[in-house]
Chain A
Amino acid sequence: MTDVLDPPILAQPGDHGHAHEGPTGILKWLTTTDHKIIGLSYTVTSVIMMVIGGALAEIIRAQLTSSNNSLVSLAQYNELFTMHGSVMIYLFAGPFAFGGLANILVPIQIGAPDMAFPRLNALSYWLYLMGSITMLMGFFTAGGAANFGWVAYAPLSNSINTPGAGADLWIAGLLLTGFSAIFTGVNLTATIFYLRAPGMTMFRMPIFTWNMLVTAILILLAFPVLTAGLIMLYCDRHFGTHIFSVQGGGVPVLWQHIFWFWGHPEVYILALPFFGMVTEIIPVFSRKPVFGYKGMVFATMTIGALSLGVWAHHMFTTGVVLLPFFSIMSFLIAVPTGIKFFNWIGTMWRGEIWFSTAMLMAIGFLFTFLVGGITGIYLASPPIDFFTHDTYFVVAHFHSIVMALVLGAMGGLYYWGPKITGYLLNETIGKMQFWFLFIGIQVFTFPMYLLGLRGMPRRVAAYPLHPSWQTLNELSTVGAVMIGVSTVLFMVNIGYSWKKYPAGDNPWDGHTLEWFTTSPPPHHNFYRLPRIRSERPTWDYNHPDRPAKAHGHHDNQDEVPVV
């Protein structure tokens, strides 16, 4: 394994002259088809959406600090939680992952010059931006923004119960961002199948890329169903179809089936990319290969497959679904997720762990996701779901999950940000941000678990008959404020570290191809590529004498590289 050749030169700096002859500044941003610039646009836009969604959340938490608060009206409150959920799910978490980081990283991780369809990629971003603006415009209509919850259950979402333009803008915005997601799914799938560099076999792809492949396939299976459902909802509202209305012979529960047939795969469309980010961060900062790489890949595939058969666990309390089937399928998802947990621990085990901000965020993800995952197992059991469904227990459960994803996202930004910008972020401010975020999340979610068990339903603006719930609500608000402070610290860090700490090509002793190229990567990404003989080509190049060991092989035995 010491016969590593100098990689052949593919290009020289200054080649690809056409990249420099194009427009610059805002015109370049408007016309670009470069996946890195589009990905950066996606990242910045989605982080702005996170800030907007977070601001809505802080108003919600402020309203709930008192049992009969008049900070916002009942009508405004319904708009707030609807738009908070919609912005966070539709406009932040997904687009950040598969439009932002995946767009930037997947082509580089597999040694490709760009996405397979660069113009479609640009269309994806502009659809996403326009969809986001469309949805948010609801706040400026006479009737206010959509107010039927982010799940838009029929018949509350029909034109009689929710007549305003805000609801239509919500549907239109979601259709646009839905198409953007579908196009990105097409693009990622084609890129991963057709544009891998020589030597980059499927089982040498980084876990992040693997997870994005499964995510992209889930997008292709799930999002068209949502799009169809939204068109049906729009037709019910405006063209007199009666697909979801009892009066015309329709079935309201059909909307729930369509919505959750998208909605549950969507949970994994959101989660898998962040699993991938964590699976890139932990091995690098432990200086070890991913433990159980192939097990990790199969676990991801299993999660993807199972996620298509569990949608009705959101509907246990409807009384019209087959409980045992959806219960056992939901329980089974715990198995591949558990495999991932033990593989993450196995990766850290006997490693040399460097507690950088990125690694702290990844470890914070593990703890927070553990809480969310375990409470998810409770909810797979219908008798337990019957008394926790639609209470704050469920709210706490999925906030443990999504806030774990935020920790993963922040880890991803601290880890890959230097690759994208060429500059590191300040580690001291980063660690302060981590502690505010991590402790804030726990202070924010744990009171909500207890509130749910004490009977507080979700989506209530006031609880005048239950003043005893006030203390726990106040505590939860304290946690939400801490999370807000962590977001401010992140912004401060970006300002403070602006072009201050040059990163170099490989600041973390990375494993995968993105750490082989320059920071930021050139147009078309690579001047040269190393030989790709494992899932860690950059590590193999930098440490030719330390390949990954198969089970039973130790350093003093014959070295057999794992292929």
Chain B
Amino acid sequence: MRRVVALPIAALALAGCTVPTFGAAPGVTTSSRSAYHLWQGFSIGAALIGSLVVVLILWTMVFHRRKGDNIPEQSQYHIPLELTYVIVPILIVIGLFAWTMVVENQEVANPKTSVTINVNAFQWGWKFTYPGQDVVVIGQTTQNPEMVMPVNENVHINLTSTDVIHSFYVHDFNFSRLALPGVLNQFTFRAVNTGTFQSQCSEICGLYHSLMYFRVKVVTRPQYEVWLESKANAGVAQASRITNNQQTSSVVPTKLTKSKGDN
């Protein structure tokens, strides 16, 4: 019964538009939108099942209050009922898993890409390298380095870490992936909107974890090429100014400045 109701609503969720957001946002990539629709579908299921349970509990709280010294019927088993709430949840879970798989396969797919960006995380900043372009963007904490990528193109990311574990978390892409030392993590984005998206590290990585910011800037192809051109000349100079292992404490707001401790 619950499944029969859930399916058309889930179909509606796929269609998007009038279904509530349930607190999440569609984001600006193809896979962020699939993940968002999955979120909406889960939320509709959660709302239905959650309200069923809440109503049952409230019902019994209101109508089965103790009124005297009666001893109610000592019923303990009802096999058909018990089997129902074993089998129905299994079917729901299989449905949720199947939909999860569809979105997940899309998200971890490895389509043909036109742009590759090497992302390197370090304590406490980011280095974005554009192979073959002689472009390097590097910045620490509130310097907020910018990763620029073209819209409507598949962008391949190679994610690594220099020291500890960090997390490449772009809220508007509905995506995060750990940057692991010794591991090359690869994934693909296809942004469908332009804009600048504030992002930050989301895995505890030491003292300045709170401030390990970066931005993702999605631009049109011509803008992207102009940007590459301008960076190709200045890039090397900038990279030499700040190296991975040098702490530039001047960029950290003074009230948060603190020595690196015992390092």
Interface residues of A (CB under 8 A from B): 68, 70, 73-75, 77-78, 143, 148-149, 153, 155-156, 160-161, 163-164, 246, 251-253, 286-295, 317-320, 323-324, 327-328, 331-332, 334-335, 338-339, 341-343, 345-346, 348-355, 363, 366-367, 370-371, 374-375, 377-378, 381-384, 386-387, 389-391, 449-450, 453-455, 457-466, 543, 546-551, 554-555, 562
The answer on a CB contact under 8 Å between B97 and A327 is yes
Tell me if B19 counts as interface (CB < 8 A to partner A): no
Q: A331 contacts which chain B residues (CB < 8 A)?
A: 93, 96-97
A-contact bits for B65-95, CB 8 A (1 contact / 0 none): 1111011111111110110011001100100
Q: B165 contacts which chain A residues (CB < 8 A)?
A: 153, 155-156, 252
User: Which residue in B73, B177, B211 is a CB contact (below 8 Å) of A549?
Assistant: B73
Tell me if B204 counts as interface (CB < 8 A to partner A): yes
The answer on a CB contact under 8 Å between B164 and A161 is yes
The answer on a CB contact under 8 Å between B210 and A463 is yes
Q: A547 contacts which chain B residues (CB < 8 A)?
A: 74
The answer on a CB contact under 8 Å between A382 and B85 is no
Smallest CB separation, B41 vs chain A (Å): 10
Smallest CB separation, A123 vs chain B (Å): 35
Tell me if B20 counts as interface (CB < 8 A to partner A): no
Q: B208 contacts which chain A residues (CB < 8 A)?
A: 74
Q: B173 contacts which chain A residues (CB < 8 A)?
A: 387
**Known interface pairs A155-B164, A457-B201. Does A383 touch B35 (Cβ–Cβ under 8 Å)?**
yes
The answer on a CB contact under 8 Å between A383 and B65 is no
**Known interface pairs A465-B213, A551-B77. Does A317 touch B86 (Cβ–Cβ under 8 Å)?**
no
Q: Which of B99-107, B111-119, B219-227, B232-240 contacts A (4 or more CB under 8 A)?
A: B99-107
**Known interface pairs A367-B54, A465-B213. Does A350 touch B72 (Cβ–Cβ under 8 Å)?**
yes
**Known interface pairs A338-B89, A349-B60, A549-B76. Does A74 touch B23 (Cβ–Cβ under 8 Å)?**
no
Smallest CB separation, B27 vs chain A (Å): 8
Smallest CB separation, A449 vs chain B (Å): 7
The answer on a CB contact under 8 Å between B204 and A153 is yes
Smallest CB separation, A263 vs chain B (Å): 16
Tell me if B152 counts as interface (CB < 8 A to partner A): no
The answer on a CB contact under 8 Å between A370 and B213 is no
**Known interface pairs A74-B258, A164-B262. Does A319 touch B185 (Cβ–Cβ under 8 Å)?**
yes
Q: A352 contacts which chain B residues (CB < 8 A)?
A: 64-68, 70-72
Bound: A118/B106 CA distance, A: 57
The answer on a CB contact under 8 Å between B73 and A554 is yes
The answer on a CB contact under 8 Å between A334 and B89 is yes
Task: Supply 23 A–B pairs (Cβ within 8 Å), ascending by A.
Answer: A74-B258, A156-B165, A161-B164, A163-B263, A246-B182, A286-B64, A291-B76, A292-B82, A317-B176, A318-B178, A327-B101, A328-B97, A335-B90, A339-B85, A346-B81, A352-B65, A353-B66, A381-B42, A390-B202, A390-B203, A457-B167, A465-B142, A543-B71
Within 8 A of A (CB), among B185-216: 185, 187, 198, 200-211, 213
